[in-house]
Amino acid sequence: MKLRTLLFVCTLLLCGLSVAADQENPPSEQPMTLSASVKNLLNYARNFEGILYKRGGNSPESGFDCSGFVRYVFSRAEDVIIPHSSVAISKLGDYIRRHDLHPGDLVFFSFTNTISHVGIYLGNDQFIHASSTQTGSVMVSSLNDNYWAKHFTLARRIPTSADAAK
């Protein structure tokens, strides 16, 4: 009987250690291997940090608005053509829950009753976007920032060239 109790206690301890380890690294924080395509997309997007915001802008020379930035990055880095409207972009690809975000996914925000802002998720709760209010330029922000957390609405995954090769 003592051996059975000892085995039971050991099993509980091992399960507890496994659960504790999982809690230290929740699924969204587990290390992820990025495809070359997604790495290229993210690196390309980061090249435009500091480019000025311009309403209706769609190039580094003229400046970017949020959807113009996302459209430019996806068309140049992935040869994926998407519309120049955050509302229209929000209807593309697959719906993703926030805790299932992967780098390269698109994050959308609403400030009224409709989608009005979009950015590209970088990982670790960070996203890159053309911001009109904070810096007036392409910048990296945190989804955990009170302002962005309050207005986060949805996320979408747009198929990349790596997805098409599968």
- CA–CA separation, 103 vs 43, rounded Å? 11
> Catalytic one among 99, 102, 129, 151?
129
Question: Could you confirm whether 117 is annotated as catalytic?
Answer: yes
Strand (E) positions, the chain? 58-59, 63-64, 94-96, 106-110, 115-123, 126-130, 138-142, 152-157
Question: Could you confirm whether 99 is annotated as catalytic?
Answer: no
> Catalytic one among 66, 84, 99, 102?
66
Strand partners, 95: 156
- CA–CA separation, 125 vs 8, rounded Å? 39
> Catalytic one among 10, 15, 84, 117?
117
Question: Could you confirm whether 66 is annotated as catalytic?
Answer: yes
- CA–CA separation, 115 vs 15, rounded Å? 43
Catalytic residues: 66, 117, 129
